[in-house]
Amino acid sequence: MISDIEIARAARLSPIADIAARLDIPEEALSPHGKYKAKIEAPFLRALSGRPDGRLILVTAMSPTPAGEGKTTTTIGLGDALRRIGRRTAICLREPSLGPCFGQKGGATGGGQAQVAPMDEINLHFTGDFHAITTAHNLLAALVDNHLYWGNALDLDPRRLVWRRVMDMNDRALRRIVSGLGGNGAPAETGFDITVASEVMAIFCLAEDLDDLQDRLGRIIVGYDRAGKAVTCADLGAAGAMTALLKEALDPNLVQSLEGSPVLIHGGPFANIAHGCNSVIATRAALKMADYVVTEAGFGADLGAEKFFDIKCRKAGLKPRAAVVVATIRSLKMNGGVAKAMLAEENIQALMRGCENLRRHVENVRAFGVPAIIAINHFTQDSEGEVAALRAFAAEMGVGIALCRHWAEGGVGAEDLARQVAALVDSGESAFEPLYPDEMSLWDKMETVARRIYRADRITADKTVHTQLSRWRKAGFGHLPVCMAKTQYSFSTDPELLGAPTGHEVHIREVRLAAGAGFVVAICGDILTMPGLPRHPAAEKIGLTGDGEIDGLF
């Protein structure tokens, strides 16, 4: 079988100025990064503000499994298909992190005939946005340590520093470290998170412009003084330099699908440990330039879609018109108890058991007032009986369903999905509402997500968590939304508990205040903000061919 990268290399890409013209972006508004990618400059984006918004479509998914679902592939296939049926369309995606590229998941540019390109460049350094975010974050960490070294005029309590360092790579050895050894400052226990979990990444993706970016960066809390008062990035005088590092990165990136659809890729927080959506700047720009905008949120709808709705849409004033819930028959059977080695065999009973996972995700999307459509990412070994059973399941739920073959056929393979989506979003205004109001307490917001989205019976936490939440409420942060950090593989905090579990407990191990981003992170179960590499990471298979082409990146 021809590989994804071979398909991408065989494609004839258009010069990026031609792709920009499809959204009426003049060439002088582009900052090119080679032939096939460019940044869209801020003055042009500001000039779009008076235009009406297009229709926003979210692509989300069932709970992920090792069998794969293909959410990004479906996002691209749907965007291509909408263009094929005559709709002016833009696609909005997150930038890939190097962590999963060299770890277990691989690249994040779609697959088969439904890809964005140039996929190797996008999956590696792209336009340098993640490097800028990493550097800005670590500049602040260096300035904190430097402030302590030169006398600590702000009286920072070294025991109450909360600003760690980041890097864009999975590295479990850096989760907990001791810094300042050898006389280079006072030794202190600290650690690293992955860049996509950085508050700077979240701020980058939620900021409206450079002024808003600098204001948000200034509100970052780096620690507390000996009297218990928060010390911020602005107190250290760091916000200006951090903004300067991020100035060019804040312009969204324009690339293309293999079929020439315009694709904006910008920002990339993970959805299991962060809020899982591309930048507000890119999404708003796309809505001003296209009639239909297809975007995605990370992992299953319990994580990415919930945070897209409750954090991004709430803060940016977005009104999604429809959501596509992606599933595969293979993954549904795995959720129904079938081992990965047996997934090619027809098993309608297991499929129906697994459909309870899909049912819950569809119900959760509808709980936000957003209509849903099921997209079945088709595999050749899916039997006619399994497809028929799945169609009957969708009919029983009263939800539309489309069998999609975009991986093999490109946009033409997703035209049925595109027609259904277009009819749905054209039929009326959005009834979208977040899951909880701003005035609800932080604890009640966490409990609302756990009970209504995860179907947990209860949430628990140690006294220190309750004490911290109380302090933040008194300090004026009680109105913030919550970002639940938990495993992506289950509705529960146990990654082995597949399907649609009920009656479980969600334990909140730790809470973190992202004052600049404007949300509170609740770290649940055993979730880690610095992942590790698997036994055999993807990096072992990546290299260069004799012609100097990158090989093994998928």
Angle of helix 129-149 relative to helix 199-206, nearest 10 degrees?
A: 130
35 belongs to the catalytic site: no
Quote helix, strand, coil % in the chain, to nearest 5: 40, 20, 40
The angle, 0 to 180 degrees and rounded to 10, between the axes of the packed helices 210-218 and 199-206 is 150
From the list 105, 419, 509, 512, the catalytic residue is 105
463 noted as active-site residue: no
| Predicted confidence (pLDDT) per residue in 103-159, tens digit | 876 778 999 999 999 999 999 999 999 999 999 999 999 999 999 999 999 999 999
Among 73, 134, 283, 328, which one carries the catalytic annotation? 73
Quick check: is 299 catalytic?
A: yes
Which of the pair, 96 or 1, is modelled with greater confidence? 96
Bridge-partner residues for 524, per DSSP? 508
The per-residue pLDDT of the chain, averaged, comes to: 94
Tens-digit pLDDT profile for residues 13-24: 999 999 999 999
Amino acid at 509: R
- The single residue of 207, 249, 271, 514 carrying the catalytic annotation is 271
- Contact call for residues 285 and 48 (beta carbons, < 8 A): yes
Query: What is the predicted pLDDT for the residue at 11?
Result: 72
306: pLDDT strictly greater than 60: yes
What is the spatial distance between Cα 473 and Cα 444, in angstroms, rounded to a whole number?
Answer: 12
Catalytic site residue from 407, 472, 477, 491? 407
Rounded to 5°, the CA angle 146-152-158 comes to 85
- Residue 10 is predicted with a pLDDT of 66
In the set 135, 379, 419, 451, the catalytic residue is 379
What SS3 class is residue 506? strand
- Burial readout 470-483 (b: 16 or more C-beta within 10 A, e: otherwise): eebeeeebbebbbb
Cα separations in angstroms, 28 against 25, 77, 219, 261, 275: 8, 29, 35, 20, 33
Out of 299, 443, 477, 519, the active site residue is 299
Of 55, 71, 216, 455, the active-site residue reads: 71
Task: Using pLDDT thresholds of 50, 70 and 90, give the confidence band for residue 4.
Answer: low
271 catalytic residue (yes or no): yes
Q: Which of 39, 87, 94, 445 is catalytic?
A: 94
pLDDT at 346 over 60: yes
Contact 533, 490 (CB under 8 A): no
Q: Is 379 a catalytic residue?
A: yes
Helices 348-366 and 384-397 cross at an angle (nearest 10°) of 30
pLDDT in tens, 405-445: 999 999 999 999 999 999 999 988 789 999 999 999 999 99
Helix (H) or strand (E) holding 89: strand 89-93
pLDDT score recorded for residue 430:
82
Give yes or no for residue 1 having a pLDDT over 60. Answer: no
Q: Which amino acid is at 238?
A: A
Three-class secondary structure assignment of 423-470:
HHHHCCCCCCCCCCCCCCCHHHHHHHHHHHCCCCCEEEECHHHHHHHH
308 neighbors 279 (Cβ within 8 angstroms): no
Domains of the chain: 4-128+249-426 (3.40.50.300), 138-236 (3.30.1510.10), 442-524 (3.10.410.10)
How far apart are the C-alpha atoms of 230 and 550, rounded to whole Å? 47
* pTM of the model as a whole: 0.94
DSSP secondary-structure letter at 196?
Answer: G
> For this structure, is 407 an active site residue?
yes
